[in-house]
Amino acid sequence: MNQPVITLRNGGGIILIDKPRGPSSHQVAAWVREMTGVAQVGHTGTLDPQVSGVLVVLLGKAVRLTSILHLDEKEYICLMRLQGDVSQQNLEEMIHQFTGKIYQRPPRRSAVKRALRIREILELELLSRDDRFVLLRVRCDSGTYIRSLCHHIGLALGVGAHMQELRRSRSAQFSEDQIYSLH
């Protein structure tokens, strides 16, 4: 296992956190600030409270890297629940159609302007399926809304779908095998 703390020459650092479900990314950054005593703490991409996984926390002078690192691609493992019956063939064909550039509008509850955006789904892989529960691996641009992706896949299939669970497995070059658990 790689070190979850990376010290930079300029006096800053990076801590790779396994964010649990429950707290916001901002709360986790505040806990790191409290535990380390470092005043300047930031992160490279918000995870909703109900989402777990890789959260890259920057300390001190490394906070300057936020504008660069938050733009890097992300990878997620997503449990999607279909709201109706769909054949395996139709599901696989539809998932394939969502690879590439897609249009997305941020959700109503989003803190950002709800303008239509183009995002790229670099890989969309069907890992497994148990009846209406579908496990997906999504490698995508930063800023992609996976909940919206699930919704749109469901609409395209004609049965509806929603995101049941989500975990970020990679952020930029940082992956789950490098993260530090808060437990």
Catalytic residues: 48
Please state, in angstroms and as integers, the Cα–Cα distance from residue 58 to each residue in 27, 121, 140, 171, following that order.
Answer: 14, 26, 22, 13
**Cα–Cα distance, 88 to 115 (Å, whole number):** 34
d(CA 141, CA 54): 15
| E strand residue ranges, the chain | 5-7, 13-19, 41-43, 52-59, 74-82, 100-104, 117-130, 133-140, 161-171, 174-175, 180-181
Q: How far is CA 55 from CA 10, 21, 81, 92, 182, in A?
A: 21, 12, 25, 30, 11
